Amino acid sequence: MFRVTADRLQAYLDFDPERKRDLTELHKLVVSAAPALKRYFHRGTPAGEAGMRMKMIGYGKFRYAVKSGKSTEWPVIGVALQKNYISVYVAVTRQGAPVVSRYAGKLGELRMGGNNFSFERFDDLKHDAVSTLFAEVAGIFSSDPENPVRYMQGS
């Protein structure tokens, strides 16, 4: 597993100098399309608690309950450095289905998962389509703040 050792947002952005521009340009796109989703450094779930340990850049926050009965914080949109690419995770659905899957093949993505996509370079992305996705995510979250809670809890 690729491990980013950063402990704050600026350190995360500086972690891989070759991909800093990709993160910065993606940030501009998120801010333009979804300004209500504020950027922050997501430290991952602390050891000993249920949840993902992955550090990432988060946009928007919500809390959901985990099996232990505790709750954990998670980003509405998360951006994570991987060894050879950057992943974007989305925690909302549309009509009960992962919203990202509706954009399969339209984002310029390297690969697509259930509610995430990955890319190597920002310039590979189809910026208009990614912007539309981010705006849709922000709109869904704004009108239904419990949407990502239901998604993360598998309801």
Tell me, yes or no, whether 3 lies in a domain: no
Tell me, yes or no, whether 139 lies in a domain: yes
Tell me, yes or no, whether 138 lies in a domain: yes
Q: What is the mean pLDDT of the chain?
A: 91
Predicted TM-score (pTM) of this structure: 0.93
Average pLDDT over residues 64-70: 75
Tell me, yes or no, whether 69 lies in a domain: yes
pLDDT band at 48 (very low <50, low <70, confident <90, very high): low
Higher pLDDT, 152 or 90: 90
Higher pLDDT, 1 or 108: 108
3-state SS of 65-129 is: ECCCCCEEEEEEEEEEECCCCEEEEECCEECCEECHHHHCCCCCCCEECCCEEEECCHHHCCHHH
Tell me, yes or no, whether 1 lies in a domain: no
For residue 22, what are the domain limits?
Answer: 9-152
Tell me, yes or no, whether 2 lies in a domain: no
Interval 15-24: pLDDT, tens = 999 999 999 9
* Residue 1 pLDDT: 61
Domain count for the chain = 1
Tell me, yes or no, whether 26 lies in a domain: yes
* Residue 153 pLDDT: 77
